Each structure stands twice: as C-alpha cells, then as structure tokens.
Amino acid sequence: MRREGKGILVVFLLLLLIVLSLLIRMENRRRSQTFDLPDSAKPSPFSEALQELIAHAGGIYLALVLLVSFLQIELPQRWKVVFFEMEPLAFLSIAIAIVQPFVLQLYRTVKGR
C-alpha cells in the first residue's frame, strides 16, 4: 500500500506539472500573439498550449532519436515510470517539453524581463 501511495503521488505531481506547464505556455502565447484568425476558427489558449507542448515534445524526440542513432547508444526498450511503460526517449522528450516553460520563466525572472 505504501508503494502504491508513492505511485499515486508521483502521478499527481506529474499531472500538476503538466497543468502548470500548459498554464505558463498559455500566458506566453497571450503575451506574444497578436494575429487575427478567420471567424470560423477560434482556438482556445488551452488547445494552443497543448498543441505547442506536443509539437515541442515531438521535435525533442526526433532530435534525441537522431542523437542516439548517430552515437550508437544502447538504450533499454522500455522504462517503467510509475504505472506506465514508456520508451526512454519518449519519456525524456515529454519531460523536457514539460519543464521548458519553467526554465524560460526562471530565465526571464533572473534576467529581469
């Protein structure tokens, strides 16, 4: 039971990080977007932030696949992450994409923007 409690806590923290990452991405999008869309298309800030998160994770994944292939690094087929089994590069790319807006926010805070 104790191990399951830790697993649930990790899943909750992961979901919380994803939500916070999406919120920061939405704020960044609001800050930088000033274009008009046709009346028929009205994406929400959440859908745009989610699309951006997935796009960044996909780009990071492709870069990691090329790097691992080029360097001929041997990786395990699957990683067990809490209740999920995932490909290591997919997990790393999603984790980096989730953390990216936090790092950007920290950079802006330190830089004073």
Tens digit of each residue's pLDDT (9 = 90 or more) over 21-79: 888 888 887 777 655 555 666 678 888 888 999 999 999 999 999 999 999 989 888 88
| Domain layout of the chain by residue ranges | 2-31+45-111
**Confidence band (pLDDT; 50, 70, 90) for 98?**
very high
pLDDT of residue 84: 79
d(C-alpha 113, C-alpha 109), whole Å: 6
Q: Give the N- to C-terminal CA distance of the chain in Å, as an integer.
A: 46
Place of tokens 């028929």: 40
pLDDT of residue 23: 86
β partners of residue 81: 84
Closest to 59 in 3D by CA, of 107, 96, 86: 96
- Tell me, rounded to whole angstroms, the distance of Cα 106 from its chain centroid: 16
Q: Specify whether the CB–CB gap between 37 and 82 falls below 8 A.
A: no
Closest to 97 in 3D by CA, of 47, 46, 52, 56: 56
**More confident: 111 or 34:** 111
Question: To 10 degrees, what angle do helices 88-111 and 45-71 make?
Answer: 120
pLDDT of residue 55: 93
